[in-house]
Amino acid sequence: MYTVDHFVRNFRKDSQVTINLFHKIPPGGMDYRPTAGQRSVLELLRYLSYGPYNAVLKITAGDWNISGPTNAVTQGVPPSDFPQRMAWQADAVERLVRATPITALLNDDFTLPWGETMKKGEALVNYPLKWLAAYRMQLFLYLKSAGAANLATADLWHVPAPAAPKAP
């Protein structure tokens, strides 16, 4: 059984992996955009730093209209704020999910704007958590295409272990 603790742990890990990718953006990479119709790296970072939280807020509240669109909230946010915004988002998501009664997560139906209905807990996993992972993958691929030669597959899935202190 997937629990709230599992959700929070996975959301935090995905956030940390995404922050690690941010630190690997090559020079000039913020403006990279695969095609004219796609988001730039900067626009993708802005979405990643608020979009999943925004969906968690809407689902836990039971109201998709409780908050505005992510792009309106994040317009003009500088890229240097990304790590702090991701950390804030992970904390805020944990507070929202833990404040929602487990009975509501398991039993309350939530209807998404496109008409699909599911239990709130299922919606949290199927949408904001999966969006975080999917858009993290997109960021990884954008960075590879933008010339981040130092990226390896492990950078997409793992948070690097802290370096061991050097002996005196």
* pLDDT at position 161: 74
* pLDDT at position 165: 72
| Domains of the chain, residue spans | 4-157
Residues with Cβ within 8 Å of residue 168, at least 6 apart in sequence: none
* pLDDT at position 56: 98
* pLDDT at position 46: 97
Domain 4-157 fold is: Four Helix Bundle (Hemerythrin (Met), subunit A) (1.20.120)
* pLDDT at position 162: 73
* pLDDT at position 167: 67
The position carrying tokens 């979405």 is: 47
- For the CA atoms of 132, 138, 139, 142, the dihedral, rounded to the nearest 10 degrees, stands at -170
Collapsing DSSP to helix, strand or coil, 94 comes out as helix
* pLDDT at position 11: 98
Environment class of residue 37 by beta-carbon count within 10 Å: exposed (0-12), middle (13-18) or buried (19+)?
Answer: exposed
* pLDDT at position 54: 98
pLDDT by 10s per residue, the chain, length 168: 789 999 999 999 999 999 999 999 999 999 999 999 999 999 999 999 999 999 999 999 999 999 999 989 999 999 999 999 999 999 999 999 999 999 999 999 999 999 999 999 999 999 999 999 999 999 999 999 999 998 999 999 998 777 667 767
Q: Are 12 and 152 in contact (CB under 8 A)?
A: no
